[in-house]
Amino acid sequence: MARDLMKWSQLPGISSIQEEMNRMFDRFFRGGDLSEMSIAGTWLPPIDLSETPDKITVKAEIPGLDPKEIDISIQGDTLIIKGDKKEEKEEKGKNYYRMERRYGSFSRSVDLPTSVDTSKVTAECKNGVLEITMQKKEEVKPKQISVKVG
């Protein structure tokens, strides 16, 4: 039984997978944003989480979003950030050859490392970065205990 060799590009369905993989690697190695590969056009703002002895800080990149349309809540030890990214800008007299936009609803849940005092949570948005600062509860803050020498 002789088998015929087939060129890689002639295999059915493989070329489209190969093209998508090539695009993915191109975006990665050019330092591009890989978030456009998310499922069904969803958009998720990237976040940073940091902790000090007194507080937990979460920063989320939300360029182009109106801070008033973002919902921030804490349920148990989980921070939830929800919102809608909308693109409604009309420019007359311009011809576009390529236009890329990401929009839609998003929801980010962040498991917090320790309990926070929900009465001492602040949120501020500056230059497209949402910063949420949460003070820790007194019982979870580290306490220094001195040792008496006797």
What six digits make up the tokens of 51? 């902790």
Global pTM reads 0.61
Per-residue confidence (pLDDT) for residue 115, from 0 to 100: 82
> What is 43-87+99-139's CATH topology?
Immunoglobulin-like (2.60.40)
* pLDDT tens-digit map of 7-49: 555 555 555 677 777 777 777 676 555 444 444 456 788 999 9
- The segment(s) of the chain belonging to CATH 2.60.40.790 are 43-87+99-139
* Average confidence score pLDDT of the chain: 78
CA 19/CA 54 separation, integer angstroms: 49
Phi–psi pair at 138, nearest 5 degrees: -60, -40
Helix or strand run (H / E) with residue 29: helix 14-29
